[in-house]
Amino acid sequence: MRVLIVGAGAIGGYFGGRLLAAGRDVAFLVRPRRAAELAKNGLVIDSPVGNLTVPSPPTVLAGKIERPFDLILLSCKAYDLAAAADSFAAAVGSATMILPLLNGMKHLDVLSERFGRSHVLGGNCVIAVTRDPQGNIVHLNHDQTLSFGELSGELTGRIRRVHEQLDNAGFEACLSEQIVQSMWNKWVFLATLAGITCLMRASIGDIVASSGGKQSITTLLEECRAIAESQGCAPERAVLDRALKTLTAEGSSLTASMLRDLESNAPVEADHIVGDLLQRRPAATGNQGGGCLLSTAYTHLKAYESRRAKSAQRAQPGEQLQRVRP
Protein backbone atom coordinates (compact mmCIF):
# COMPACT_ATOMS: atom_id res chain seq x y z
CA MET A 1 0.00 0.00 0.00
CA ARG A 2 1.42 3.38 -1.04
CA VAL A 3 0.92 5.96 1.71
CA LEU A 4 1.15 9.73 1.27
CA ILE A 5 1.64 11.84 4.40
CA VAL A 6 0.50 15.41 3.73
CA GLY A 7 3.19 17.52 5.37
CA ALA A 8 6.02 16.48 7.65
CA GLY A 9 5.03 18.51 10.67
CA ALA A 10 4.64 17.25 14.21
CA ILE A 11 1.78 14.77 13.77
CA GLY A 12 2.33 13.72 10.16
CA GLY A 13 6.07 13.54 10.66
CA TYR A 14 5.73 11.40 13.77
CA PHE A 15 3.36 8.78 12.38
CA GLY A 16 4.99 8.87 8.95
CA GLY A 17 8.43 8.40 10.48
CA ARG A 18 7.27 5.40 12.49
CA LEU A 19 5.69 3.88 9.39
CA LEU A 20 8.89 4.34 7.41
CA ALA A 21 10.95 2.74 10.18
CA ALA A 22 8.54 -0.22 10.07
CA GLY A 23 9.24 -0.69 6.37
CA ARG A 24 6.05 0.79 4.94
CA ASP A 25 5.94 2.50 1.52
CA VAL A 26 5.60 6.13 2.63
CA ALA A 27 6.27 9.51 1.03
CA PHE A 28 5.81 13.01 2.47
CA LEU A 29 4.10 15.76 0.48
CA VAL A 30 6.08 18.86 1.47
CA ARG A 31 7.12 22.32 0.34
CA PRO A 32 10.58 22.82 -1.19
CA ARG A 33 12.06 24.27 2.02
CA ARG A 34 10.95 21.30 4.13
CA ALA A 35 12.11 18.88 1.43
CA ALA A 36 15.60 20.42 1.52
CA GLU A 37 15.61 20.30 5.32
CA LEU A 38 14.68 16.61 5.36
CA ALA A 39 17.24 15.78 2.69
CA LYS A 40 19.97 17.47 4.72
CA ASN A 41 19.09 16.49 8.29
CA GLY A 42 16.72 13.55 7.89
CA LEU A 43 13.46 13.11 9.77
CA VAL A 44 14.36 13.23 13.46
CA ILE A 45 12.01 12.11 16.24
CA ASP A 46 12.91 12.63 19.91
CA SER A 47 10.57 10.43 21.96
CA PRO A 48 10.42 8.78 25.38
CA VAL A 49 9.25 5.60 23.65
CA GLY A 50 12.27 5.55 21.35
CA ASN A 51 14.23 8.09 19.31
CA LEU A 52 14.31 7.75 15.55
CA THR A 53 16.24 9.27 12.66
CA VAL A 54 15.25 8.50 9.08
CA PRO A 55 17.94 9.78 6.66
CA SER A 56 16.56 11.48 3.53
CA PRO A 57 12.95 10.28 3.79
CA PRO A 58 11.04 10.08 0.49
CA THR A 59 9.38 13.40 -0.38
CA VAL A 60 7.24 14.73 -3.22
CA LEU A 61 6.30 18.31 -4.08
CA ALA A 62 2.83 19.54 -4.99
CA GLY A 63 2.54 19.49 -8.76
CA LYS A 64 4.99 16.59 -8.98
CA ILE A 65 2.61 13.77 -8.02
CA GLU A 66 2.72 11.32 -10.92
CA ARG A 67 0.17 8.68 -9.89
CA PRO A 68 -2.44 8.05 -7.18
CA PHE A 69 -1.66 6.77 -3.70
CA ASP A 70 -3.66 4.14 -1.85
CA LEU A 71 -3.88 6.01 1.46
CA ILE A 72 -3.50 9.71 2.25
CA LEU A 73 -2.86 10.69 5.86
CA LEU A 74 -3.93 14.29 6.49
CA SER A 75 -3.15 16.24 9.66
CA CYS A 76 -3.21 19.93 8.70
CA LYS A 77 -4.88 22.75 10.59
CA ALA A 78 -8.51 23.35 9.63
CA TYR A 79 -7.75 26.78 8.14
CA ASP A 80 -5.23 25.13 5.78
CA LEU A 81 -7.61 22.38 4.64
CA ALA A 82 -8.57 23.89 1.27
CA ALA A 83 -4.94 24.52 0.32
CA ALA A 84 -3.94 21.05 1.49
CA ALA A 85 -6.70 19.47 -0.60
CA ASP A 86 -5.43 21.33 -3.66
CA SER A 87 -1.90 20.07 -3.01
CA PHE A 88 -2.79 16.37 -2.83
CA ALA A 89 -5.67 16.28 -5.33
CA ALA A 90 -3.52 14.57 -7.97
CA ALA A 91 -2.83 11.74 -5.53
CA VAL A 92 -6.51 10.80 -5.30
CA GLY A 93 -7.43 7.95 -7.62
CA SER A 94 -10.56 5.84 -7.93
CA ALA A 95 -9.66 3.68 -4.90
CA THR A 96 -7.74 6.19 -2.77
CA MET A 97 -8.66 6.51 0.91
CA ILE A 98 -8.21 9.79 2.75
CA LEU A 99 -7.62 9.50 6.50
CA PRO A 100 -7.93 12.96 8.12
CA LEU A 101 -6.75 13.52 11.68
CA LEU A 102 -8.35 16.94 12.13
CA ASN A 103 -10.58 17.66 15.10
CA GLY A 104 -14.30 18.35 14.82
CA MET A 105 -16.50 17.20 11.95
CA LYS A 106 -16.64 19.96 9.34
CA HIS A 107 -13.61 18.63 7.47
CA LEU A 108 -15.52 15.44 6.65
CA ASP A 109 -18.07 17.50 4.73
CA VAL A 110 -15.37 19.55 2.99
CA LEU A 111 -13.41 16.49 1.88
CA SER A 112 -16.53 14.57 0.88
CA GLU A 113 -17.74 17.44 -1.28
CA ARG A 114 -14.34 17.75 -2.95
CA PHE A 115 -13.46 14.07 -3.49
CA GLY A 116 -16.62 12.07 -2.77
CA ARG A 117 -17.66 10.61 0.57
CA SER A 118 -16.58 7.10 -0.43
CA HIS A 119 -12.96 8.28 -0.36
CA VAL A 120 -13.12 9.63 3.20
CA LEU A 121 -12.40 7.70 6.39
CA GLY A 122 -12.91 8.79 9.97
CA GLY A 123 -9.93 9.24 12.25
CA ASN A 124 -8.38 10.93 15.23
CA CYS A 125 -5.21 10.70 17.24
CA VAL A 126 -4.09 11.11 20.81
CA ILE A 127 -0.51 12.36 20.90
CA ALA A 128 1.42 15.36 22.25
CA VAL A 129 4.07 16.40 19.75
CA THR A 130 5.73 19.59 18.61
CA ARG A 131 8.66 20.69 16.48
CA ASP A 132 11.76 22.33 17.90
CA PRO A 133 13.62 25.24 16.21
CA GLN A 134 15.75 22.76 14.25
CA GLY A 135 12.67 21.12 12.75
CA ASN A 136 12.98 17.95 14.81
CA ILE A 137 9.81 16.31 16.09
CA VAL A 138 9.58 16.18 19.89
CA HIS A 139 7.20 13.65 21.46
CA LEU A 140 6.17 15.01 24.86
CA ASN A 141 4.71 11.93 26.58
CA HIS A 142 3.95 8.25 26.00
CA ASP A 143 0.59 8.71 24.23
CA GLN A 144 0.73 7.74 20.54
CA THR A 145 -2.64 6.40 19.43
CA LEU A 146 -4.08 6.66 15.93
CA SER A 147 -7.71 5.56 15.61
CA PHE A 148 -9.50 5.10 12.29
CA GLY A 149 -12.49 3.44 10.68
CA GLU A 150 -15.18 3.61 8.04
CA LEU A 151 -17.68 6.43 8.57
CA SER A 152 -20.39 3.77 8.30
CA GLY A 153 -18.76 1.68 11.02
CA GLU A 154 -18.43 -1.31 8.68
CA LEU A 155 -15.37 -3.56 8.86
CA THR A 156 -14.73 -3.51 5.13
CA GLY A 157 -11.90 -5.22 3.33
CA ARG A 158 -10.20 -1.91 2.60
CA ILE A 159 -10.25 -0.72 6.22
CA ARG A 160 -8.77 -4.05 7.28
CA ARG A 161 -5.96 -3.45 4.79
CA VAL A 162 -5.39 -0.02 6.32
CA HIS A 163 -5.16 -1.68 9.71
CA GLU A 164 -2.55 -4.10 8.39
CA GLN A 165 -0.45 -1.15 7.22
CA LEU A 166 -0.74 0.88 10.41
CA ASP A 167 -0.52 -1.96 12.92
CA ASN A 168 2.83 -2.96 14.46
CA ALA A 169 4.48 0.24 13.28
CA GLY A 170 5.74 1.65 16.56
CA PHE A 171 2.50 3.29 17.71
CA GLU A 172 -0.95 2.13 18.79
CA ALA A 173 -3.21 1.69 15.75
CA CYS A 174 -6.88 1.21 16.64
CA LEU A 175 -9.42 0.04 14.07
CA SER A 176 -12.77 1.33 15.31
CA GLU A 177 -16.34 0.39 14.41
CA GLN A 178 -17.45 3.58 16.18
CA ILE A 179 -14.99 6.13 14.84
CA VAL A 180 -17.63 8.84 14.36
CA GLN A 181 -18.64 8.56 18.02
CA SER A 182 -14.98 8.68 19.02
CA MET A 183 -14.56 11.85 17.00
CA TRP A 184 -17.58 13.39 18.73
CA ASN A 185 -16.21 12.39 22.14
CA LYS A 186 -12.96 14.17 21.38
CA TRP A 187 -14.76 17.19 19.90
CA VAL A 188 -16.90 17.68 23.02
CA PHE A 189 -13.77 17.58 25.17
CA LEU A 190 -11.70 19.86 22.95
CA ALA A 191 -14.45 22.43 22.43
CA THR A 192 -14.84 22.65 26.21
CA LEU A 193 -11.09 22.90 26.77
CA ALA A 194 -10.54 25.43 23.98
CA GLY A 195 -13.62 27.44 24.85
CA ILE A 196 -12.85 27.82 28.55
CA THR A 197 -9.07 28.32 28.38
CA CYS A 198 -9.33 30.84 25.53
CA LEU A 199 -12.22 32.68 27.16
CA MET A 200 -10.42 32.92 30.50
CA ARG A 201 -6.91 33.15 28.99
CA ALA A 202 -5.72 30.74 31.67
CA SER A 203 -4.84 27.12 32.38
CA ILE A 204 -7.34 24.64 33.81
CA GLY A 205 -5.66 24.86 37.22
CA ASP A 206 -5.92 28.65 37.32
CA ILE A 207 -9.56 28.56 36.23
CA VAL A 208 -10.46 25.93 38.83
CA ALA A 209 -8.74 28.03 41.51
CA SER A 210 -10.91 31.04 40.61
CA SER A 211 -14.35 31.78 41.99
CA GLY A 212 -16.95 30.13 39.78
CA GLY A 213 -14.29 28.56 37.58
CA LYS A 214 -15.18 24.91 38.13
CA GLN A 215 -18.87 25.63 37.62
CA SER A 216 -18.12 27.42 34.35
CA ILE A 217 -16.20 24.41 33.08
CA THR A 218 -18.99 22.06 34.09
CA THR A 219 -21.59 24.27 32.42
CA LEU A 220 -19.64 24.49 29.17
CA LEU A 221 -19.05 20.73 29.07
CA GLU A 222 -22.79 20.17 29.50
CA GLU A 223 -23.56 22.60 26.66
CA CYS A 224 -21.23 20.72 24.33
CA ARG A 225 -22.60 17.35 25.46
CA ALA A 226 -26.16 18.50 24.79
CA ILE A 227 -25.28 19.46 21.23
CA ALA A 228 -23.69 16.05 20.67
CA GLU A 229 -26.84 14.43 22.05
CA SER A 230 -29.00 16.45 19.66
CA GLN A 231 -26.95 14.96 16.81
CA GLY A 232 -27.39 11.43 18.11
CA CYS A 233 -23.79 11.22 19.34
CA ALA A 234 -23.88 11.86 23.08
CA PRO A 235 -20.73 10.62 24.85
CA GLU A 236 -21.25 7.84 27.37
CA ARG A 237 -21.27 8.71 31.05
CA ALA A 238 -17.85 7.17 31.63
CA VAL A 239 -16.38 9.29 28.81
CA LEU A 240 -17.87 12.45 30.30
CA ASP A 241 -16.65 11.56 33.78
CA ARG A 242 -13.08 11.18 32.51
CA ALA A 243 -13.34 14.45 30.62
CA LEU A 244 -14.68 16.31 33.64
CA LYS A 245 -11.94 14.89 35.86
CA THR A 246 -9.29 16.19 33.46
CA LEU A 247 -11.01 19.52 32.94
CA THR A 248 -11.37 20.25 36.65
CA ALA A 249 -8.06 18.93 37.99
CA GLU A 250 -6.64 21.25 40.64
CA GLY A 251 -3.24 22.69 39.78
CA SER A 252 -3.40 21.43 36.19
CA SER A 253 -1.26 23.31 33.66
CA LEU A 254 -3.43 22.04 30.80
CA THR A 255 -4.43 24.52 28.11
CA ALA A 256 -5.78 24.09 24.60
CA SER A 257 -3.39 24.44 21.67
CA MET A 258 -5.84 27.09 20.46
CA LEU A 259 -4.93 29.26 23.44
CA ARG A 260 -1.24 28.84 22.66
CA ASP A 261 -1.94 29.88 19.06
CA LEU A 262 -3.97 32.85 20.26
CA GLU A 263 -1.22 33.99 22.61
CA SER A 264 1.27 33.70 19.72
CA ASN A 265 -0.92 35.92 17.51
CA ALA A 266 -1.38 32.98 15.15
CA PRO A 267 -4.47 31.76 13.27
CA VAL A 268 -6.97 29.76 15.33
CA GLU A 269 -9.51 27.07 14.47
CA ALA A 270 -12.40 29.08 15.90
CA ASP A 271 -14.93 28.18 13.21
CA HIS A 272 -13.98 24.51 12.96
CA ILE A 273 -13.82 23.62 16.66
CA VAL A 274 -16.22 26.06 18.35
CA GLY A 275 -18.29 27.73 15.64
CA ASP A 276 -19.31 24.55 13.83
CA LEU A 277 -20.38 22.93 17.10
CA LEU A 278 -22.44 26.01 17.91
CA GLN A 279 -24.10 25.82 14.48
CA ARG A 280 -25.30 22.31 15.34
CA ARG A 281 -27.36 23.44 18.31
CA PRO A 282 -31.02 22.45 17.99
CA ALA A 283 -33.09 25.07 16.17
CA ALA A 284 -35.33 25.48 19.22
CA THR A 285 -32.42 26.94 21.17
CA GLY A 286 -31.17 29.12 18.32
CA ASN A 287 -28.08 28.13 16.36
CA GLN A 288 -26.23 31.29 17.29
CA GLY A 289 -28.29 32.16 20.33
CA GLY A 290 -26.63 34.02 23.14
CA GLY A 291 -26.93 33.17 26.79
CA CYS A 292 -24.51 30.27 26.64
CA LEU A 293 -20.80 30.01 27.37
CA LEU A 294 -20.04 28.36 24.04
CA SER A 295 -21.54 31.32 22.20
CA THR A 296 -19.55 33.74 24.36
CA ALA A 297 -16.33 31.81 23.73
CA TYR A 298 -16.97 31.89 19.99
CA THR A 299 -17.60 35.64 20.04
CA HIS A 300 -14.35 36.08 21.96
CA LEU A 301 -12.40 34.11 19.34
CA LYS A 302 -14.02 35.93 16.41
CA ALA A 303 -13.20 39.28 18.02
CA TYR A 304 -9.57 38.11 18.23
CA GLU A 305 -9.63 37.18 14.54
CA SER A 306 -11.09 40.58 13.63
CA ARG A 307 -8.42 42.42 15.61
CA ARG A 308 -5.71 40.25 14.08
CA ALA A 309 -6.98 40.95 10.55
CA LYS A 310 -6.91 44.69 11.19
CA SER A 311 -3.35 44.41 12.47
CA ALA A 312 -2.37 42.62 9.28
CA GLN A 313 -3.84 45.42 7.19
CA ARG A 314 -1.83 48.00 9.14
CA ALA A 315 1.40 46.01 8.88
CA GLN A 316 4.21 47.64 6.91
CA PRO A 317 5.15 46.16 3.50
CA GLY A 318 7.16 42.99 3.99
CA GLU A 319 5.82 42.37 7.48
CA GLN A 320 3.70 39.29 8.10
CA LEU A 321 1.83 38.00 11.07
CA GLN A 322 3.08 34.72 12.49
CA ARG A 323 1.48 31.69 10.88
CA VAL A 324 1.87 28.32 12.52
CA ARG A 325 1.56 25.39 10.15
CA PRO A 326 1.53 21.69 10.98
**Which amino acid, 191?**
A
CB atoms within 10 A of CB 169: 19
φ, ψ (nearest 5 deg) of residue 63: 90, -10
Rg of the chain (C-alpha set): 20
Q: Which residues are catalytic?
A: 186
Interatomic CA distance for residues 49 and 216, integer angstroms: 37
* Angle at the Cα of 120 from the Cα atoms of 158 and 279, rounded to 5 degrees: 145
Closest CA to 96 of 77, 80, 116, 124: 116
Contact by Cβ (8 Å): 56, 50? no
Backbone φ and ψ for 190, nearest 5 degrees, come out as -70, -40
